[in-house]
Structure 1
């Protein structure tokens, strides 16, 4: 699985929910939180449920729902009832039937992951994961780190069993800190680096913050390239037009793939001669560069270009 791009779509906009499936994002996230006005939460829950349960809803993307501060209400609406209702409503959720094909084949929903906003403790991850299991939903958890407390707890949150990715939210973090957002982003750089380090240490994905000006393609391309240098695996998107730019930034170029393949081939030859260091096109290669080459090839394969 690759998560180069994660596209948010407002949960109360059915036409946009359907369009998101074909936007080319690796992950589509139906948003019940920030993108929905407080008075429209119930309507959004029902709208998302109807789309995810529709047998015609198919997509190659990972399907996620961002929950609100009332996850029990969100989950009850998604499975069509109270705890345990998933068993009566096609509880396979994101398991056997809902994880790879159309929704609603047995009355269930197509759902692969839930996203939790403003996560500050590992316990919250475990609690919501248990709520999902009680309702027959076999999903992973994507944890959005967007408060000072969340940044400080990022290693523990990443280590929680159900956590499959850490997502960095710079805008809410800046508000929490009382910081002023700048184009350079130095006010959130420490937090941005801490999140990606915590995710890497736990062996899970790290997804970078949104770029709010969806008409500024050059700015998005530059910021995405910078996030990639920090070690991020992907980036959040708020508009379909951002998806191809982000995907391109996280897809290795043909030149990088060729270099990586040459490194791996030379590594194998060197291993036959019991050599740990070797040369590729005049460059001395050792363990860190081998690891880099392996990462490039993994990303190329996940992106379907190798």
Structure 2
């Protein structure tokens, strides 16, 4: 991709509830995603494809990328979803592909949607044991831009709990594979809508684990996730100080304030600045 894949805070809204579209688009999330898959009842899917056009009638807000979760491209619903996307007034910037278990799924979507003028960021939704086993090949698909973890389907497929400990192995494997491929990993929503302290705790844990963002299904969760994942002015200033000091250090370990800084910390600072600069660039050009 020519531009970094959007990370940070994602909000996902069902495609058959257009009354929620304005809230999602104006939420200030890094990514607003309309869903055509699991949150839409099977009987409502044809209507959802038509209703979702309203999500893409005008360009994305200055601070938010617009995307869509399709059904699996190996299903009839997924084929219909891809056909519908071609007629949307504004092309989605992100396409989230569910039930990915092979690089083939990403290749199918890219083959349908890529044009000389636009190639959307393709995110793979990792939510099955087979997907976890195939991660090393999935994350190296030519057109993959990032991965998103789906805890609900993963828990159902494995029979494990949805708490922190049962999910730790899968989350760790996902972050490691994504980092090895140089793509961002986004965490699953937190499904207790009223437990904001639990949300914050999980968000801070996944950020410490290496996730670049976290998704949600309700605007109530946005403030907490934004506080956790969006770099603060202080963090950006500290990162700029580290990078500036490193540029004059000739590769040597340096001291910045009270901290000893070596090459890994310099690279982390540069990554933080790249994310902040990418968001600024999106706000300017959107």
- Distance in 1 (alpha carbons) for counterparts of 2:274 and 2:84: 38
Per the TM alignment, residue 129 of structure 1 is displaced from its structure 2 partner at its CA by 1.4
Matched, 1:10 2:14: yes
Q: TM-score, normalised by structure 1?
A: 0.82
The one of 226, 237, 240 aligned to 1:261: 240
Per the TM alignment, residue 13 of structure 1 is displaced from its structure 2 partner at its CA by 0.8
Matched, 1:280 2:256: yes
Matched, 1:110 2:91: yes
Aligned residue in 1 for 2:61: 59
Per the TM alignment, residue 251 of structure 1 is displaced from its structure 2 partner at its CA by 2.1
Aligned residue in 1 for 2:210: 231
Per the TM alignment, residue 23 of structure 1 is displaced from its structure 2 partner at its CA by 0.7
Ranges of 4+ aligned residues in structure 1 off by more than 6 Å: 134-137
Per the TM alignment, residue 130 of structure 1 is displaced from its structure 2 partner at its CA by 0.9
- Distance in 2 (alpha carbons) for counterparts of 1:282 and 1:22: 41
Aligned residue in 2 for 1:170: 151
Matched, 1:201 2:201: no
Per the TM alignment, residue 192 of structure 1 is displaced from its structure 2 partner at its CA by 0.5
- Distance in 1 (alpha carbons) for counterparts of 2:279 and 2:231: 9
Per the TM alignment, residue 50 of structure 1 is displaced from its structure 2 partner at its CA by 4.0
Asked if the contact 2:86/2:113 (under 8 Å) is kept, the reply is no
Aligned residue in 2 for 1:152: 133
| 1:175-231 CA-partner distances (Å, limit 9, x unpaired) | 10011223xx11111110111111111111110111001222111111111111111
The one of 292, 295, 301 aligned to 2:268: 292
Matched, 1:79 2:55: no
Per the TM alignment, residue 242 of structure 1 is displaced from its structure 2 partner at its CA by 1.3
Q: TM-score, normalised by structure 2?
A: 0.87
- Larger Rg over CA atoms: 1
- Distance in 2 (alpha carbons) for counterparts of 1:281 and 1:251: 23
- The change in CA–CA distance for 1:79 and 1:136 in structure 2 (over 3 A counts) is farther
- Distance in 2 (alpha carbons) for counterparts of 1:172 and 1:23: 26
Per the TM alignment, residue 138 of structure 1 is displaced from its structure 2 partner at its CA by 3.1
- Distance in 1 (alpha carbons) for counterparts of 2:23 and 2:68: 15
| 1:127-152 CA-partner distances (Å, limit 9, x unpaired) | 12112238996322110000000111
- The change in CA–CA distance for 1:75 and 1:134 in structure 2 (over 3 A counts) is farther
Matched, 1:38 2:45: no
Matched residue of 1:48: which SS?
helix
Asked if the contact 2:106/2:141 (under 8 Å) is kept, the reply is yes
| 1:240-281 CA-partner distances (Å, limit 9, x unpaired) | 12122112211233443333233222212322xxx5122222
